[in-house]
Chains A and B, each alone.
Chain A
């Protein structure tokens, strides 16, 4: 549930909003991440009028209202302001007409004034609202940027996630969040991970306690958010399990409807997890550049076999 209050407090400064009427309605719920210029509805065509959207009044709307008689102005505004209207914003520093001011006050619809041009305001508002409404989940694990690749390290408790993350940081890679990663689906169908504000850049290491990575290793070792590119699950080595030995088959895991490459990485004494994670990240980059090591090898092998076949007769 997203409220007008949250929009105003979090983004009011960026959008340069000033609350001028209907303060009581600041707790109104924003139902949809959409904004609307009332244009046609204001002219009296109310069929399909989007009641749940935030209304933005621009130059055209304000000039049109000026040109109406007082009675018309009241009736038209009356018709478009419903109990579902979350808020009204008047752009371009326009002074809201008295009738709009009064109606918003009566119906507890927050009325804002903004300095921005209407189109600029609408595009910024749409982007912000889409972001706020995008689906998100919390994942258990550590998110580290390794050679520019966002790697989510998962695994059971005490398998060594934090230690692996710490090892990566020590080698100059960047921590986004340890233990709890919030993942959000962004426009364009990619995932973005970030940490909770309070525990961001903090880690808990058994035997040491809570450490602040940004202070210990410097600002270069942390990042606020990063796209999530691969998921690596650390697992205590299980002799009965057959681990991937070739890497031709690509396993994926679905998070918020997006398929992400998934690797199962067995851990046992003597295996340098940090190095392995770096290799996975590099190999991922190579694949993105169009070079698939395992497949390339397979092609070479197949052509070698074919050549042999030809020589024989």
Chain B
């Protein structure tokens, strides 16, 4: 399988933004993936495999994050990432 690069823009829809728990979730998810993943938010590009990097973005609710995935399992990785963003990282609205 050849290497692919895909880019997609997603919006942070959970109430608290990209705080520690979602960041941990993303890093955990990426541990099983082989691709290189970067997030770009407010002109800042970071390595999505690092918790501190994700936290540094301090992305709030409704912030736009550009995900770039490069590697052999790019499509699958992107799908899983988008899904976790869209599912509010499992954040229950009633708990917020």
Q: Establish whether residues A198 and B50, one from each chain, have CB atoms under 8 Å apart when the complex forms.
A: no
Task: Find out whether the CB atom of A199 lies under 8 angstroms from the CB atom of B55.
Answer: yes
Q: Are A204 and B56 in contact (CB under 8 A)?
A: no
Known: A138-B44, A138-B45. A204 touches B58 (CB 8 A): no
Is there an interface contact between A202 and B52, defined as CB atoms closer than 8 Å? yes
B residues 21-57 in Cβ contact with A at 8 Å: 44-47, 49-53, 55-56
In the complex, which of the residues B20, B56, B58 contacts A180, with contact meaning CB atoms closer than 8 Å?
B56
Once the chains bind, are A203 and B49 in contact (CB under 8 Å)?
A: no
In the bound complex, how far is the Cα of B27 from the Cα of A179, in angstroms? 14
User: CB-defined interface of A4-48 with B at 8 Å, one 1/0 digit per residue?
Assistant: 000000000000000000000000000000000000000000000
- Give every chain B residue within 8 A of A204 (Cβ-Cβ): 50-52
**Contact call A198/B55, Cβ cutoff below 8 A:** yes
Decide yes or no: A179 and B53 within 8 Å by CB, A138-B44, A138-B46 being known contacts.
yes
Could you say which residues of chain B place their CB within 8 Å of the CB of A285? none
Q: A179 to chain B: which residues have CB within 8 Å?
A: 47, 50, 52-53
How many interface residues does B have (CB within 8 Å)?
A: 13
Q: Is the CB of B49 within 8 A of A196?
A: no
Closest to B45 in A: A138
Q: Report A-chain residues with C-beta under 8 Å of the C-beta of B46.
A: 138, 180
Q: How many residues of A contact B (CB 8 A)?
A: 13
Contacts of A199 in B (CB 8 A): 52-53, 55-56
Chain A, 152-174, contact with B by CB distance < 8 Å: what is the 0/1 string?
00000100000000000000000
CA distance A178 to B47 in the complex (A): 13
Interface readout for A188-209 with B: 1 if CB under 8 Å, 0 if not? Answer: 0000000010110011100000
Collect the chain B residues with CB atoms within 8 Å of residue A210's CB.
20, 51-52
> Is the CB–CB distance between A180 and B50 below 8 Å?
yes
| Contact for A203 among B20, B45, B52, B53, CB less than 8 A | B52
Which chain A positions have C-beta within 8 A of B50? 140, 157, 179-180, 204
- A178 to chain B: closest residue by CB: B52
The docked-state distance in angstroms from the alpha carbon of A198 to that of B44 is: 13
Q: Please measure, in the bound complex, the distance between the C-alpha atom of A204 and the C-alpha atom of B20, giving whole angstroms.
A: 12
Q: Shortest distance in angstroms between A118's beta carbon and chain B's nearest beta carbon? A: 34
Q: Type the 1/0 row for B62-94, where 1 means its CB is closer than 8 Å to any CB of A.
A: 000000000000000000000000000000000
CA distance in complex: A196, B58 (Å):
11
Contacts of B44 in A (CB 8 A): 138, 196
Instruction: Give Cα A187–Cα B53 distance, bound, in whole angstroms.
Output: 28
- A196 near B51: Cβ-Cβ < 8 Å: no
Q: Which residue of A lies closest to B43 (CB)?
A: A1
B89 to chain A, nearest CB (A): 18
Other 5 A-B pairs with CB < 8 A, given A138-B46, A179-B47: A138-B45, A140-B47, A140-B50, A179-B50, A180-B50
21 A-B residue contacts at CB 8 Å?
A138-B44, A138-B46, A140-B47, A157-B49, A178-B52, A179-B47, A179-B52, A179-B53, A180-B46, A180-B53, A180-B56, A198-B55, A198-B56, A199-B52, A199-B53, A204-B50, A204-B51, A204-B52, A210-B20, A210-B51, A210-B52
